[in-house]
Structure 1
């Protein structure tokens, strides 16, 4: 088959799938933004998109749709140019999150279109209004969220099928669209991300920590409320007071991946650090920023207790990878986390907003690692059974994509 992947930051979620399908003899290529400089495992075509300013007063609730559909138009015109040169894919697999797939069926109506349906914005029952400190659950917010979902619904309605990585994320779509979605996780490399008693991680001060050391970890792409950075930081003073030997390693940038930036301040990192700095031994708190993937792997292998929090939103790959590494995970009792972790069996679940509860759970995890050995082993077992890249997720995803070629044969 000819398979076209569409993703403005390719390879993204197709990192393993695209080369695997190419290795199986399919003619694979990707269409991506010209500003994307990531290395690609397959040939690329690029489009140049100039995002025009949107006037909120004029577009009102349609401003998000305007932004996303503008990109969709750019991508469709790039697709037209490809068709004019004779390129016609059998299957298109694109991420729906930026509007890129909206009009591809108008260019290639004979192709099967699969959209990666990562999340559907909802006025109630997900991230909107979850954290009242930063997002009041008023009716205006409900309507804004519904407006934001417009292009996501259109993208799936005009596709042949959707794919979501978790049941929770698929459940955010309205029932008629949910029936179009198959759930297959992207998968994690459980062979590379595995317990290793010989693992080593070097802290910024030069100290080397190992799996036997008292290391508390917190990892996210960026440090922000959507991922519970505020709750973690507010729980930290009691943890450090109770555990004077603990080393706290925090990985993440100081940008905004989700939600809004803090008003009048540079970033969320300093906003919440400033609340508790005078109660922390900063010589034992290590902000790493964004780290290379091998460093992240090594860190998970030396972690004694790993905190992961999220709003009811997209689940981070890092939590599943922490499970594969055999970490003792202390997770927020929110639906994305609860789908993967079972309290008392494969992890410890704490209410997202319960700061004393987080302190107590992290203190216990650091003070009594022997209590959680069975739990850590069980978490890795779940990662192997449900989220293993080579043994489970990738073969299922390959079969899913190839099934559309059979239908069109």
Structure 2
């Protein structure tokens, strides 16, 4: 089977999947994206370059759609050149297109390869109320124009939902955000966690008798480690809540060291509307009396170093508003971390309170502090939850089982 993957980025959700399809099933995979070209682990990567995009004259509410059109047109032209040049034969063309509906769309590929069915990957459908948009009611509200833009952001998603043959979402929560008339087209299939890679480094987790160095942070034998991981530092991932909790935990226990992984930027949401030109992290620090002496911001780290961070973690903290789930939480669970997470969707699908982690109200700082302290004071209970977390990933979210579900979907759509 020859599968053409389409995404604005690489490897994103499809890179590891494509490489495994090539290695384990002998499939051919072409990955059309905006960044990487050439052979990548047996996957043929082809780039596209948008000729233009939204400008200052583009209406604020239309900018996302304008950029999607330019990217999708460029992707279609790149695919047309790939399969129409040099007298390419029909058997060189893909049997299936798998496309992420977000920054780019497979809509125009239907014109280039009209006979090839499309499976859509739908990450998030936006809603005005009871959603990520209005969840942080404790912060300055979004503008009316931003609310209008939110509705318009679904335009390309709706086109992709209408035109695809089938699709999937990574969690039930994300699938349930899709309009009801399209949900029968969709399955829930998670992206998959490579449990052979994401596993605890026993040499670090069992070496409490010696000093350890992780992500540039020196950890003394007697110290407990609390971890937090996020691509950026924003309110949608509860970064402000985390700092308040970490500060109080450090004040109550002198043997705690906190490692924070992620960049000092806003990756999601509109926090810049009220931070007066500062990063959200700096805004939080400036507006709270925090002792940061044992809270270490280590920036972005490699995947290998992140495993080392998880391997020394005695408590991993994770917040999210109802939105797309971070891979980092599941990677932490795969590394047998005791996870304390916000009691929000879609976290509730993975974390069972008291079994493989703890769930806490997003805003209840006092309860968060209690749960962290209890976790740090109960090593046997911590080990039990971490072991159960690993088992949850192995049984339900490992790459092998998710890949089998994806390939079954791909084959079924191809044979229609």
Question: Normalization by structure 2: what TM-score?
Answer: 0.89
Kindly indicate whether the alpha-carbon contact (under 8 Å) linking 2:49 and 2:74 is maintained by their aligned counterparts in 1. Answer: yes
Kindly indicate whether the alpha-carbon contact (under 8 Å) linking 1:164 and 1:181 is maintained by their aligned counterparts in 2. Answer: yes
1:398 corresponds to which of 396, 401, 407: 407
Does structure 1 residue 285 correspond to structure 2 residue 286? no
CA-CA distance at 1:22 after TM superposition:
2.1
Partner of 1:132: 137
- Per mean C-alpha deviation after superposition, the further-off stretch among 99-108 and 287-296 is 99-108
SS in 1 for 2:13: helix
Residues 253-276 of structure 1: CA deviation (Å, up to 9, x unaligned)? 012221125242331222223334
Residues 221-265 of structure 1: CA deviation (Å, up to 9, x unaligned)? 111111110111122222111111101000000122211252423
CA-CA distance at 1:120 after TM superposition:
0.9
1:106–1:134 Cα change, 3 Å: farther
CA-CA distance at 1:10 after TM superposition:
2.0
1:6–1:368 Cα change, 3 Å: same
For residues 123-162 of structure 1, the aligned pairs below 5 Å read: 123-134=128-139, 136=141, 141-162=146-167
Kindly indicate whether the alpha-carbon contact (under 8 Å) linking 1:123 and 1:141 is maintained by their aligned counterparts in 2. Answer: no
1:293–1:364 Cα change, 3 Å: same
- Per mean C-alpha deviation after superposition, the further-off stretch among 162-171 and 81-90 is 81-90
For residues 234-313 of structure 1, the aligned pairs below 5 Å read: 234-262=244-272, 263-276=275-288, 278-282=289-293, 284-313=294-323
1:305–1:319 Cα change, 3 Å: same
CA-CA distance at 1:6 after TM superposition:
1.0
Partners in 2 of 1:26 and 1:228 — Cα distance?
A: 41
Residues 119-169 of structure 1: CA deviation (Å, up to 9, x unaligned)? 111112321111024463776554332211111111121111112111111
SS in 2 for 1:202: strand
Partner of 2:63: 63
* RMSD of Structure 2 on Structure 1 (CA): 2.3
CA-CA distance at 1:62 after TM superposition:
2.5
CA-CA distance at 1:206 after TM superposition:
5.5
Partner of 1:20: 20
Does structure 1 residue 382 correspond to structure 2 residue 382? no
Partners in 1 of 2:358 and 2:217 — Cα distance?
A: 31
Partners in 2 of 1:209 and 1:38 — Cα distance?
A: 45
Kindly indicate whether the alpha-carbon contact (under 8 Å) linking 1:220 and 1:227 is maintained by their aligned counterparts in 2. Answer: yes
SS in 2 for 1:312: coil
Partners in 2 of 1:329 and 1:137 — Cα distance?
A: 31
Does structure 1 residue 349 correspond to structure 2 residue 350? no
Partners in 1 of 2:120 and 2:20 — Cα distance?
A: 18
Partner of 1:194: 199
Partners in 2 of 1:123 and 1:279 — Cα distance?
A: 34
Partners in 2 of 1:53 and 1:281 — Cα distance?
A: 41
CA-CA distance at 1:118 after TM superposition:
0.9
2:189 corresponds to which of 173, 181, 184: 184
Partners in 2 of 1:403 and 1:157 — Cα distance?
A: 19
1:4–1:122 Cα change, 3 Å: same
1:30–1:335 Cα change, 3 Å: same
CA-CA distance at 1:59 after TM superposition:
2.9
Partners in 2 of 1:37 and 1:260 — Cα distance?
A: 32
Kindly indicate whether the alpha-carbon contact (under 8 Å) linking 2:235 and 2:271 is maintained by their aligned counterparts in 1. Answer: no
Partner of 1:318: 328
CA-CA distance at 1:66 after TM superposition:
1.7
Partner of 1:334: 344
CA-CA distance at 1:70 after TM superposition:
2.0
1:171 corresponds to which of 153, 160, 176: 176
Partners in 2 of 1:265 and 1:139 — Cα distance?
A: 21
Partner of 2:218: 207
Partners in 1 of 2:216 and 2:301 — Cα distance?
A: 16
1:209–1:116 Cα change, 3 Å: farther
Residues 55-103 of structure 1: CA deviation (Å, up to 9, x unaligned)? 46x5353332122122112222222323422353210111111133221
5+ residue gaps, structure 2: 206-211
SS in 2 for 1:199: helix
CA-CA distance at 1:304 after TM superposition:
0.4
SS in 2 for 1:110: coil
Kindly indicate whether the alpha-carbon contact (under 8 Å) linking 1:47 and 1:75 is maintained by their aligned counterparts in 2. Answer: yes
Partners in 1 of 2:366 and 2:224 — Cα distance?
A: 20
Partners in 1 of 2:283 and 2:26 — Cα distance?
A: 51
Partners in 2 of 1:370 and 1:21 — Cα distance?
A: 40
Partners in 1 of 2:321 and 2:154 — Cα distance?
A: 18
5+ residue gaps, structure 1: none
